[in-house]
Amino acid sequence: MKTCVVLLHVIFLPVFLQGQTRPEISTEDITYFWSAFDQLSEAKNHADSVEIIQKNYIDICSNVYGKYIKRSNISAEEYVTLFTIYPNYWRAIRPLTEQITNRRDELETALQKLAATIPGFKIPDIYFGIGCLRQGGTIKGNTIIIGAELAAADTLIDKSELSTWLKSVVGKTGDIVAMTAHESIHVQQSWFPLGEFFSLAKHQQLKLLNMAILEGSADYITTSVLGLNINAGIREYGLQHECELWKNFEASIANDPFDYSKWLYNGNSARDMPADMGYFIGYQITQAYFNSEADKNKAYTTIFKRGKYRKVFEESDYKHLVCGS
């Protein structure tokens, strides 16, 4: 009997492990959203519209996306306001979001390729929903949360109504596969050991240099493995102005190391250069580091430890490579 148990274990173990590598991909929240949207035709006034979105989307969406909405302080009122401001955009984005349910194979293929390349890669689950045009993707633990109203936009989408920042990013992030791949790299990136318990350790990781490498490394890895980069649109400017950008970035990390306003998450405030050029700097540092490290498995391991980003920067020698000095 013991021998039989062992044999059964050997026979079924590969099947079990294979099952573990397939992500859960949820699109039910997209269905809930557009169902609620269609019911707005029955609204007699603004208050009715708000109630319809609240009861038929926010209150019934998945636990994962519901928690994201709560954390982000997204309200039914905000949705209804955006429907009024950008009516053509919502009509244009609808079919692109509804097609996501048929694109599971593309998503799985990208994640499997990353898993085949990167040692110890954790396959994340993916939840698609409709947000308020704030964020294309984020993570919570081992789960990716995608705002399909941004991530699914293609280059042909009607952007005529959108704000300057939205026009600069919508349709330029490489579609849902690129966004999912980028966020899947963030799933691999860890805090300092026991970082959740040491506020100083967490605080140090939030420095501009660390955050640029955190974001830029995700872009570099997805580009090198998959040829996908959600920030491909800023690279032409970055390469043309790289030395100047580095000198300005170096001044920022020396003089105000926790101020992201010029370099990251600054879509609504960028003035003298494209938004989010910190992603480009982080990409270039990561690329230089990978090129300098002969053991690529070791390089992946290091880049996934957020406490090692100063080491990544120093060993990249980017500071001396970038301006030819």
Q: At residue 309, what are phi and psi to the nearest 5 degrees?
A: -70, -30
Quickly state the pLDDT bin for 270 (edges 50, 70, 90). confident
Residues 64, 141: contact at Cβ < 8 Å? Answer: no
- Per-residue tokens: 163: 């704000």
Query: Domain boundaries in the chain?
Result: 24-188, 195-321
User: Does pLDDT of 322 surpass 80?
Assistant: yes
Sheet holding 143-147, edge to edge: 25-26, 125-129, 143-147, 137-140
pLDDT category of residue 3 using cuts at 50, 70 and 90: very low
Structure tokens given for 146: 């995608």
In angstroms, the Cα distances linking 259 to 34, 169, 189, 214, 255 are 38, 22, 22, 15, 9
Q: Measure the CA–CA gap between 321 and 319, rounded to whole angstroms.
A: 6
Q: Tell me the average pLDDT across 301-321.
A: 94
**Exposed, middle or buried by CB within 10 Å (0-12, 13-18, 19+), for 155?**
exposed
pLDDT tens digits, one per residue of 186-222:
999 976 544 444 455 555 668 999 999 999 999 999 9
Average pLDDT value for residue range 155-177:
92
Q: What mean pLDDT is predicted for residues 217-238?
A: 96
| Span 137-153, pLDDT tens digits | 999 999 999 999 999 99
Distance CA(225)–CA(118), nearest Å, equals: 9
Among residues 173, 324, 150, which one has the least CA distance to residue 234? 173
Please tell me whether residue 144 adopts helix, strand or coil conformation. strand
